[in-house]
Amino acid sequence: MSTRRTFTGGPTVADTRDASLLHGHLSLAGRLDTRFFALLEALHTTGSLHKAARTAGYSYKGAWLVLDTASNLSRAPLVSSASGGSGGGGTRLTEAALDLLAAWTELQTRHAAFLHMQEAWLTEHTAVGPLLRRFAMKASARNQFFGTVRALHRGPATTQIELDIGGGLTVVASITTDAATELHLAPGSEAIALVQASEIVLVSDFAGFRLSARNQLPGTIARIQRGAVTAMVGLVLPGGSTLTASVSHDAVDALGLAIGQPVTATFKAYSVMLAVAA
């Protein structure tokens, strides 16, 4: 009977994906991958092929098939089955399978360390790292504009930040002064402005009026996508940036919005959230 082993290796590739700029697929011999070893580990833990198959996302038949194929290629059985008795029944990993699982656990740790080392090089020695870091941030806000702080206007309670987003356009954000201090915002620093599509009001004709909204970005309608409740209207801004507004179907019809039509996207400075690199 095989000796019970505990596998407590380092973080798996899946564990590091959210925090890393680099993602790597680790497999052995081109076919033994994360899912296969999840099956082995679950089998080692539970002693039940039924439970292990469910844990790893296999059918019972599929689990047996992949184990049989791996056993044939390794020229040594990877599992052994036992009926009930004093030692209990179930399915257990053989020493060959335990050695394979131990090697996989160690390789995961080495692989994660390798990716971490390459990411450090990418960030410190190339101009690509900061670009990828901006792509890595995941937020629900539909509109995300990268820019450079042009000016700050600090007040006792709130601070207004002018962010140059290129194309001759500026986005103004109004945040608490404490938040501006915590983010270490200063002229020349980089930040990302996030704006929900629902916070944007489209204006097709000002009719001689001026709006109080601090942000007013001119653009041209590039797409109109009607949904069940609202329509997503995409604008191309000067410089090539895009902006999406969520408006009602009635508003689309009332304004006569159409592809190629010039409109102005307006939103309040309080609707802008800022993000900076940690």
| pLDDT value of position 26 | 85
Q: Which architecture does CATH list for 13-132?
A: Orthogonal Bundle (1.10)
| pLDDT value of position 138 | 53
DSSP letters spanning the chain: -PPP-----S--HHHHTTT-S------BTTTB-HHHHHHHHHHHHHS-HHHHHHHHT--HHHHHHHHHHHHHHHTS-SEEEE-SSTT--EEEE-HHHHHHHHHHHHHHHHHHHHHHHHHHHHHHH-SHHHHHHHHH---S-SEEEEEEEEEEEE-SSEEEEEEEEETTEEEEEEEEHHHHHHTT--TT-EEEEEE-GGG-EEES--TT-----SEEEEEEEEEEEE-SSEEEEEEEPTTS-EEEEEEEHHHHHHHT--TT-EEEEEE-GGG-EEE---
Would the pTM count as exceeding 0.75?
no
Mean pLDDT per block of 10 residues along the chain (278 residues) reads: 52 42 77 89 91 92 88 82 58 90 90 84 69 55 88 93 94 94 91 93 93 95 93 93 94 94 96 87
The top-level CATH class assigned to 137-275 is: mainly beta
| pLDDT value of position 118 | 81
| pLDDT value of position 130 | 60
Domain map of the chain by residue range?
13-132, 137-275
